[in-house]
Amino acid sequence: MRPLAKGLLILIISAGTSFSQISVLKPAFGTHGMVSTSDSIATAVGVQILKEGGNAVDAAVAVGFTLAVTYPQAGNLGGGGYYIIHLKDGKNYAIDARETAPAAASRNMYLDAAGNVIPGKSLIGGLSVGVPGNVDGLLTAEKRFGKLPIEKVMEPAIELAQKGFIVDGRLQEVFHHAEKELKRFHSTMKYFSRNGEIYRQGERLVQKDLANVLLKIEKGGRDGFYKGEIAEMIAKEDQATGGVITVKDVEGYHAVVKEPLMVTYHGYEVMSMPPSSSGGVCLAEMLNILEHFDLRKYGYGASQTLHYEIEAMRHAFADRDKYLGDLSFVSVPMKRLLSKAYADTIAREIDPFSATPSIDIYPELIHPPHEGTHTTHYSIIDNEGNAVSVTTTLNSYFGSMVVVNGGGFFLNNEMDDFSAKPGTPNQFGAIGAEANSIQPGKRMLSSMTPTMVLKDGKPFLILGSPGGTTIINAVLEVILNVIDFHMPLARAEMAPRIHHQWVPDVVYYEPGALVYDVKQSLISRGYRLVPREAIGEVQTILVTPSGYEGVADPRGPGDAEGY
C-alpha cells in the first residue's frame, strides 16, 4: 500500500489531479488501537505492544526506543522531544524533553572576533550539541503513565539493535546525502560503515553497542543513561569533537511535565505544546486569527482562503521570532499571544485583498534567511481512549553527525535552534530575538508541534510532523482540511500545502497547491511564490464513530497500522 500511495502522490502533485482521484489512498483502520509513525518497523512494534496489553503510552515509549535503532537520522537517544498525552480519565499532560545548553555555553560562542556568526559552527561537531533529553522524556512518560514493565516495552528495540535490520532505500538515501559529513568523524564511520563505505540498501545493520546502552537504560532507568558510563561517554565524545558538555551537564538534565496549551477552534479544543516549543503558541494564534474568516465558504485552495492563511502564518511567526523562548529564562506575553482579543486585532488589520509586507512587522528583526530540514513524529491511541502525540528530533538529519564512541548513537545539533546572534537566521530561516539567546541550562526554541484536537473532551484528531519551521503550518493545514473543509483523512493528508514563516517574505508551495488563476491572484496581491518539493510529513489519527483511521503522510516513508 505504501509504494502505491507514494507513486500516487507524485502523480497528483505534478498533474494537479482532482480530490476525487486521491481516494485511492485508504487510511488504515482499527477498532482497538492505531499507530502512525515515520517508520514501518516502529509502527509494527507499537501495534505489538498494544496487542500485548500495553496502553498508548507504553506503545509510544516502545516506538521511541525503536526509532532510536531503526531511524537513526531522527529517532534518537542523543536528542530531545515533546510529548502530548491524553488519558482515559480526561487528564492531559505535556512533557518537555527538549535539550538544554551546557553550563559552559555562552551567547557569543558561535561568533568570530568581529561579532559575525561563524558558518556551520552550530551545525556540525561537538559544539553544536545540546544536553540530550529524549531518554528522560521516554522514561518519565513510562514511569508516570505506562502500565507494562519497562523490560517489556524496551524488548523490541533491544532485539532489533542486537540482531539488526535491513537497510532500506530511504535510509540509504539519507546516508548518501550526509556521507561527506558523516566521514568527518571516526566514531560515526565505526558504526555506520562497512570497510569504509556507508551502509547500503539490503545490508543488515547490527548495533551491539547501542543494544548495550538500551540494556543499561532498561536495568538502571534514568541513572543508566544520565549517570556513570554512558554520561561519561557522551561528555568524552562531545569534548573530543569540539564541544563543552560535561558529565555534570548530563547528570543534571531533567525532563519537565507541564500543562498542555489549549485553544478553542469552531467548538473543538486544540491541545499542543507550550514553550520551549513555539509550535503550540503559533498554532493557537493562527487558529484564533482564522476563526474570524469563513474559510469553508471560500474553499480549499482558493486565493482568498490562502490569503488569510498566509497572513495568519506571517503574524504568528513574527511573534514567534520576537517573543518566544524558554519560560524559565524569559518573560513571554503568553496571555496576550493566546487571547482571542489579540487575534481579533490582527484579523481586523488584515487587508482582504493585499499582502502585508513582512518588513512592516517588527522591521528591526528582519534579516536574510537560511534553510534546513528534519525530525520525526508518531501518533498513537489505544482501545481505552488514551492517546499520545510525540515529536522528537536530532534537529538536522543525523544531528551533529557525531556518534558516541562505545554507545553507537548520534548526538543532536540543537544548539543551532538558539539565536546565535539575535536577528541572524538558523538553518531553518528562523531568526529569533533576545528571548531565544544562548544561556547555560536554557532550552532552545523549537517548532515541534505535537497536537491533539479534542471533541467533547475526547480525542478527535491526533497529529504532528517533522520539517523544521514547516511543522507548524503542516499541522495547521491538516486541521483546517478536516474541520473547515470536511475532507476525509486521506485527502486532508495528501492535499498540497503552502508555507510562510514571516522571514523570508515568500510563499512556498508544493506542486499542485496553486492552480494558474490562484497563482496569478496571489502574485497580484503582492505575494512572492517559490515552489518547494514537500512541506511536512504529518502522521495523523482520526477518531470516528466506527473506530480509528490512521494515515502516514505519503510524503515520507512512514506507515499507519490499526487492529
Residues facing 39 on adjacent strands: none
How many CB atoms are closer than 10 A to CB 321?
29
Residue 5 is classified by DSSP as: H
Contact in structure between 319 and 503 (CB atoms under 8 Å): no
Q: DSSP 3-state assignment of 161? A: helix
From CA 417, how far away is CA 238, in angstroms rounded?
Answer: 18
Closest residue by Cα to residue 198 from 187, 207, 189: 189
Order across the sheet with 376-381: list the strands.
256-258, 92-97, 80-86, 387-393, 376-381, 34-37, 559-562
Residues facing 410 on adjacent strands: 403
Contact in structure between 437 and 419 (CB atoms under 8 Å): yes
From CA 345, how far away is CA 350, in angstroms rounded?
Answer: 9
Residue with cell 557569543: 108
Distant-in-sequence, close-in-space partners of 199: CB < 8 Å, separation ≥ 6 = 167, 171, 172, 175, 192, 193, 205
Grid cell of 8 as nine digits: 500516487
Supply φ then ψ for residue 322, to 5 degrees.
Answer: -85, -40
Beta strands at 261-265 and 92-97: parallel, antiparallel or unpaired: unpaired
Catalytic residue numbers, as ranges: 375
Contact in structure between 449 and 464 (CB atoms under 8 Å): yes
From CA 448, how far away is CA 460, in angstroms rounded?
Answer: 20
Distant-in-sequence, close-in-space partners of 68: CB < 8 Å, separation ≥ 6 = 75, 76, 77, 157, 210, 214, 409
Order across the sheet with 547-552: list the strands.
28-30, 547-552, 539-544, 458-464, 451-455, 268-272, 261-265
